[in-house]
Amino acid sequence: MQWTMTPAQTKQRYQLGWRDTLRVLTPYVKRNFMNQLEGIWFIVAYLVLFQLFVLQLPIVYAAMIGMGIFVVAVGLMFFMEGLRLGLMPLGEEIGSVLPRSSRLPTILLFAFLLGVGATFAEPAIAVLKAAGAGVLPAEAPLLYSLLNDFSGQLVGSVGVGVGVAVTLGVLRFFYAWPLKYLAMPSVAVLLALSFYFSQVPELKDVLGLAWDCGAVTTGPVTVPLVLALGIGVCRVVSTGGGSSGHSGFGIVTLASLFPILAVLLLALVHYAQDDYYGAANYQTPPAAETTESATPTPSRTSQAAAISDQTSIPITEQEFVDYQRTGQLPEGYRLQFKGGDAQLVDGEIQITDPQITVVKTYLREFEFFAAKTWDTTKSISQQLASAGLDALRAIIPLCLFLYIVLRILLRQRLHRGTDVSIGVSFALLGMALFGLGIALGLTPLGEQLGSNVPLAFAEIVPWGYSHMEGPLLEEAHFGKMLAIGFAFFLGYGATLAEPALNALGETVERTTAGAFRKKLLMQSVAIGVGLGIGAGIVKMAYNLPLFWMLMPPYALVLILTWRSPHSFVNFSWDSAGVTTGPITVPLVLAMGLGIGANVPGVSNGFGVLALASVGPILTVLTVGLYTQRQERAQQLTENGDAEVQGIAAPSTGA
């Protein structure tokens, strides 16, 4: 006799109390939270320890930064889970059905719109939009206008660039175009445009922003959705007898190149029309009127100049009495000579009739946390509301677009509809929390450390201080080397902590049949990113033009790309995409802007991400060619030994 449960019994069987629910969910939540924390802890700990023990400065707003970092980890946990449950199933279903049931023009239109929509949903785009607050309009008028007056156009142009890139990537899969035949002309055009920009003062400041936009776009939203479409197209192509190479590789490369071109063209249009801050045809957009009327935030260098003559503090009556009693200057006092006639007599400098003043200088007391533990100008409710609105504007249109394509265009039912709706809710919550954590934690930490790094080689006003400090090392070149070394190990360690790099290493080792080992790839990428970020500090410390920092590595990359096999070119160029994770981009961007605001003569800190992107391409291509040469030499040796043994065998038998 077969026993069946009634509906009431079934409902009772699956009903859990809140304690049982917590017991089931706690290990799952803990595992996902720790996965996000693993990608954060190294870079945060490294920044904090460097400021405390090398720069010997306390952490300002420590409580706010700590809370912000925790919120970032929670937000990433919800956001990545939302991607897995909500956006990725939509993208994978469309990617598997669309190429089989639609014509090429329809697929290309979808690819373009997907690239645009995914760009708006990238968490790092919000960081890019907020990066214009510290740019002074008098120093970089066109850059200021792009980031403040035309920020909507800037983000839109980046989205169009990604859309064009995804469209070309799909065409490449259909027609089996080698990646090098698309990447090399694109880079050549970008370098030619960049050379022209470097010759025009108004355009020169935009170069760093444009090249950094290429790194911002390849984040946790764009890459999975675009790859899902690419893999679906590759399956159709492979079934039809074509060859697409290593499926999925290469599309990320194009998505990082074309946004650069789009931003350069946008800047060129405004420059040609004289439509930017201070130009003849400049008209402040309505959305920017409040920003324009407000006083721009001065850089810390200008703050330092304003108080450079106030490096001493008043001496109290009691301190004066102690000096009269002992006749000795206690620690923290120094003599200041003004006027008089200085002469060199018997190896000594003798000053006749000087005005001698005793001043008390600032003593840096070593402490871990400054008295200011929270920035009172930041309201949690306002920041959360702003981040929530940004999340709604980014996630909802993309999800609606994917759902409409699936239901109306493809006439497919949404499997696991409940899971998808939960995933979209998680993505919204996660992106809102991530934006809040960025504003409270990662951005203040990056700006704080970036503002303080020049202390190693220059006299500046440290973050949260009201007086001048530095330089840490008397020899400026040694101080600059210290800052460059800090940047290298920051890039190296942060890259190894990126979860996407581990996945890329496994994929490359599998697709190359072990010719390129996972560990070798990870080390190559990490070293390349470290060298790139270090080069970014070199650019700002010595105030070098960005074009001449980009030209040599990219010229070498083009040569290596031409000489490398197609398989190595694909994953070498895509390796730059894994270095621009949701944690690395905000911190490096904020750090670069902070350094740029404190080094005299530097108008902005853009360009560090651009150099961090070309570094891994260069190192992976170099290591790939070396590995290939070693394998060929080994094969020749083995073939030679086999021939010798084949010749020697008959004589042995005889």
d(CA 184, CA 187): 5
- Whether the model clears a pTM of 0.95, i.e. scores above it, the answer is no
- Provide CB contacts within 8 A for 252, sequence distance 6+: 218, 223, 226, 227, 573, 574, 577
CB-CB neighbours of 297 under 10 Å:
13
Indicate the number of domains in the chain: 1
pLDDT at 654 (0 to 100) = 39
Within-domain flag for 597 = yes
pLDDT at 464 (0 to 100) = 78
Residues of the domain holding 568? 26-286+380-464+473-634
Within-domain flag for 297 = no
Within-domain flag for 270 = yes
Residue 516 tokens read as: 């390129």
pLDDT at 80 (0 to 100) = 86
pLDDT at 347 (0 to 100) = 67
Regions of the chain short of the pLDDT cut 70: 1-17, 21, 129-130, 132-133, 237-248, 284-315, 323-324, 327-337, 347-349, 358-366, 415-418, 499, 578-579, 640-654
Start-to-end CA span in the chain (Å) = 82
Residue 160 tokens read as: 């169009």
Within-domain flag for 295 = no
Within-domain flag for 336 = no
Within-domain flag for 343 = no
The DSSP bridge pattern shows strands 333-338 and 355-361 to be antiparallel
pLDDT at 360 (0 to 100) = 60
**Residue labelled with tokens 């060129």:** 268
Rounded alpha-carbon distances, angstroms, from residue 135 to 132, 435, 501:
5, 21, 33
Within-domain flag for 544 = yes
Range list of β-strands (E), 275-384: 312-313, 333-338, 341-345, 348-352, 355-361
Asked whether the beta carbons of 261 and 190 are under 8 A apart, the reply is yes
Using CA of residue 348, residue 353, residue 354, residue 360, what is the dihedral sign?
positive
pLDDT at 245 (0 to 100) = 45
For residue 471, whether the previous peptide bond is cis, meaning omega lies within 30 degrees of 0, is: yes
> Three-state secondary structure along 162-185?
HHHHHHHHHHHHHHCCCCHHHHHH
Within-domain flag for 128 = yes
